[in-house]
A and B are shown apart, each in its own frame.
Chain A
Amino acid sequence: MKRDIIIGLIKKEFTQLFRDIRMRIVLFVPPILMLILFGYAINTDIKNVRMIVHNEDKTTESREFIEKFTGSGYFYVIKYIENLSEVDQFFDKGKADIYIHLERNFAKKLKSGKTATIQLIVDGTDSSRSSMILASVNGILEDSMKDYVKKNLSLLVIKRNLKTIPKLSQNIEVKERILFNPDLSSRNFYLTGMFALLISMITILLTAMSIVKEREVGTIDQLIVSPIKPLELVAGKTLPYVIVGFVDIIIISLISIFWFKIPFRGSFLLLLFSSLEFLITTTAVGVYISTISHTQQQALLSVVLFMIPALLFSGFAFPIDSMPEVIRLITYVNPMRHFIEIVRSIFLKGSGFSDLWQRLLYLFVIGVGLFYLSTKRFARHLE
């Protein structure tokens, strides 16, 4: 490995990258644009929860209790009812999300230190929405209620699924308070996941394309007859995109933190270090794809075919915990899975090296493995 040769290769790569104005834009604008688009558009937060209120207590306290919900900005009352039988028609037509019942003597019980029960019926058709609604209820109860209310309150929660579960089938759930992302902002969750998506997309694509292009145009011939060694060539082809990915990571982080106000509780240095590990895996994948693609089009297609499963099994959107055992094991070799978890932990939990070393180690091992495989294939491919 000669330093001068690698530096020469990197310089050349950047000269080419920045020569083309379109390329300059491609490097940094799409990640930013996608991030902003995602930040605003993809939002699974629970807003506008339609509530039916059955208040048998009719005291100032019980009204205040309801106002805590409506005042949160997430809930609004569509109807006050007097009779439980009215509930069904609302749910059947999908006009309400939640029914809340306050028993007679609700306030009195609470004040005297007895347990008061509120009953909630949630439309369980959309399971993720219903759990989000319940989480919001929980949040409101935890955060806005007076202590004596909290202490003496008992929740009876019924999830009501229109088709499969018979009416009012009872599963009483004890909901935990959701830590780390207390307002359960989906933005915090998705944007931190976007890091892996954007960075891998752009670095895998650029690495693979730049190698395949050299082969397609024939410029690689001139490199093959030169004294460059395969490892130097791989380094010269991946390092520029590691650098690009690094700059992208910094830009994306800054936008997430300062524009979208995603809480950043961890160490920025650790974020950069894990990014470096991740970028080694993505550029190695790029090199590998270049060895199985003859044309830039094939490379593009291969990148897409790689990205889809890598994304699906990364925990970006679908929780890995609910995947079958076998799949869960497979996700361990998916670098995206580890990087997403690392980024989320650093941002939302403030996890440090001692919490994440295992993930970092996985990522490192995957990176070394991929790099070895790709370089070997690449060297063989040069002949």
Chain B
Amino acid sequence: MESVIVENLTKKFANFTAVDNISFSVEQGEIFAFLGPNGAGKTTTIKMLCGIISPTSGKGMVGGFDIIREQEKIKQNIGYMSQKFSLYSDMTIEENLTFFATIYGVTNGLKKRIEEVLNIVEIEEKKSTEVKQLPQGIKQRLALAAAIIHNPAILFLDEPTSGVDPLMRRKFWDLIYNLAAEGKTVFVTTHYMDEAEYAKRIAFIANGRVIGLDTPKRLKEGFEYNVYELGHKDYLKIFKILSEWDKAIEVALFGNKIHIITEKKIQKNEVQEYIKKSNLSQVFIEKIPPSLEDVFVIKVKC
């Protein structure tokens, strides 16, 4: 069963097309990642799916409700976590959750439900703390708790882990997995490539268009280029040299390593040959499997 179906969805603001004719569908219980740089149209899409803004053209269904005509019903049946922390800092965790439970009409067993969600996100011992005194990671989990307080079937998480340290991010994803395992559909946007790998399926989005949509594994398998990793103590020099190479489609720095993407026909020794010309020795070269980032970069370029 599909939780979200979108067909030819377009949103224009004056002369600017934020979302350009996108179509996709999300299965129930699936973790679906929307991956793309800032300004690619991720948030605009989410806003249309949540019934906050209406599309310029195209149609869509969320949880069985029409995104144009049944926005009120959608709002009651989804949970939303915004990019920016948007709960009340001057109230305690418990007060925030009580408030959101009330406005979603959770009146029966309100106390019990709050205990439940606090348990799910594992912050029950902090429930009487004022939110502004909490670290970012806890705030994020509170935002998730508020988003699921009314037990919605679909969750929209807009860059939920931005500004959170890696360990907390990992923990947060565990929570997302648990929710999906319960049968909730999780629609998540991110610009962290590593994070997207946790999703069941990924949609690459750039300039308002979906430029690739598949499971992380298949996206990488379908990648018809070679990726080489190079290492040297003077890595900046290597980077400079490779940037000038016409056979390198993409050169990028990863810490003190350099990744280059080339056509499939370019072999490792060809890279070695090219480096040798510049009289650098002890250059470490290795062919590596493509990352999602490599896939994304090439998709955007081509």
Contacts and interface: CB of A to CB of B under 8 A. Distances in A.
B52 interface: yes
Nearest to A17: B90
Interface string B49-86: 01111000000000000000000100110101010111
A4 B99 CA distance: 10
Contacts of A225: 50-52, 75, 78, 80, 82
A4 B86 contact: no
Interface in A298-338: none
Contacts of B95: 12, 15
Contacts of B98: 8
A219 interface: yes
A224 B90 CA distance: 20
Nearest to A23: B90
Contact of B90 (A20, A222, A227, A383): A20
Given A12-B91, A15-B91, A227 B72 contact: yes
A20 to B, nearest CB: 7
Interface string A208-240: 000000000111111111111000000000000
Contact of A383 (B52, B72, B91, B146): B52
A226 B104 contact: yes
Contacts of A9: 103
Interface in A1-60: 2, 4-5, 7-9, 11-12, 15-16, 19-20
Interface in B91-107: 91, 95, 98-100, 102-105, 107
Interface residues of B, number: 29
A4 B85 CA distance: 25
B99 A12 contact: yes
Given A4-B107, A11-B99, A227-B105, A218 B91 contact: no
Interface residues of A, number: 25
Interface string B86-127: 111111000100111011110100000000000000000000
A16 B90 contact: yes
B91 A19 contact: yes
A218 B105 contact: no
A5 B103 contact: yes
A227 B72 CA distance: 6
Nearest to B130: A19
Interface in A321-361: none
B86 A12 contact: no
Nearest to B51: A225
B85 A218 contact: yes
A222 B100 contact: yes
B255 to A, nearest CB: 34
A19 B96 CA distance: 13
A19 B86 contact: no
Contact of A227 (B75, B85, B89, B146): B75
A226 B107 contact: no
Interface in B1-59: 50-53
B82 A222 contact: yes
Contacts of B72: 227
Contact of B82 (A4, A15, A221, A227): A221
Nearest to A9: B103
A79 B195 CA distance: 96
Contacts of B100: 222, 226
A226 B103 contact: yes
B75 A226 contact: yes
B132 to A, nearest CB: 10
A234 to B, nearest CB: 14
A160 to B, nearest CB: 63
Contacts of A219: 86-88
Contacts of A227: 72, 75-76, 103-105
A295 B174 CA distance: 38
B146 A222 contact: yes
Contacts of A4: 102, 105, 107
A223 B102 CA distance: 12
Interface string A159-203: 000000000000000000000000000000000000000000000
A14 B99 CA distance: 12
A216 to B, nearest CB: 11
15 contacts: A5-B102, A8-B98, A11-B99, A12-B88, A12-B91, A12-B95, A16-B91, A20-B90, A217-B89, A218-B84, A220-B86, A221-B84, A222-B100, A223-B103, A227-B105
A-B interface, 10 closest residue pairs, ranked by CB to CB distance from nearest: A8-B102, A225-B80, A222-B86, A227-B75, A218-B86, A218-B84, A12-B99, A221-B86, A221-B82, A227-B76
Interface of B: 50-53, 72, 75-76, 78, 80, 82, 84-91, 95, 98-100, 102-105, 107, 130, 146
Given A4-B102, A225-B51, 7 more contacts: A5-B103, A15-B91, A16-B88, A19-B90, A19-B91, A20-B90, A227-B105
